[in-house]
Structure 1
């Protein structure tokens, strides 16, 4: 199983991102993530044996967030840099509750042998992967002309463990478990929802 943890979005943010992608799609060689599958990244876990899934879920259920969380989504950026762009993203404000959550997830996973992060946590939402080295002049012009680079706010009350997989050649993601905030010793909710598309669209 290839796993990661993330925060899900609300319908208003998804609508705003859908409109952003609609504007940018014609002018950039980007493999877009479907807006319904965008998320604020917490921690990439990577390959994990299904035989140890229960152990992982039990460990993540120990993560606590002691304050209500509000996360504005604004700004656009690139990894690794604007000069060598490969990943195009929307920024998420690194609020104290979000830092507490990311740190808690990182700690619990380190207890299971997953290497802790050595770089500062940069909360973001991946929009797509740039697939060409061609100049992005027209793309940058459209970005400059955007009426706003603010895409809304999420107020999550849980984080989610996802599985990434490929079915019939199509990248997909599946909710594995959800972990509510602000409820000590709560049992995680194991998801049974159908997979969602996670790749380009």
Structure 2
């Protein structure tokens, strides 16, 4: 019995030594790599103005502690930029109406031309590339390809709203989620002295 136990201990020792030498020669096994599951997230569109249906159709992937923070941050930055863009556009439209009421047709024409120029860029971009939904990235600022699955449900038919009737869209968000640079064009505030200082964000192709 004692010899059997001794033989068993020797065999285990030899096996451990062989295993250690094999690991040192071939390298350690890294094991299974964590893989992101197929994403069902639906991002806000970045090529046209937001609609009510776009916000209602937003979906985020869930993690251990709720929604994925990177996807939520990206969606909030996109919505905030669109709201700021439309606020500036409303300011330009109000300045144009004020100029028309005060009889300053030259200033009103300059504002209208700047607004139409911005709208024409959006029209050209929409004609070149149809609207499509972009899945959210798994990590913010990683620049990796989207992880959205091919079978993700499409957005429902979007309904138009008064805020979208201008046909002007904000600049396309960059890959890390940050808004693109805003182009400054001639505008006009309500007063007559500095009427060409209003800022209008335009869509970049």
Q: TM-score, normalised by structure 2?
A: 0.29
The structure number with the bigger radius of gyration is 2
| TM-score normalised by structure 1 residue count | 0.29
Q: Say which structure is richer in strand.
A: 1
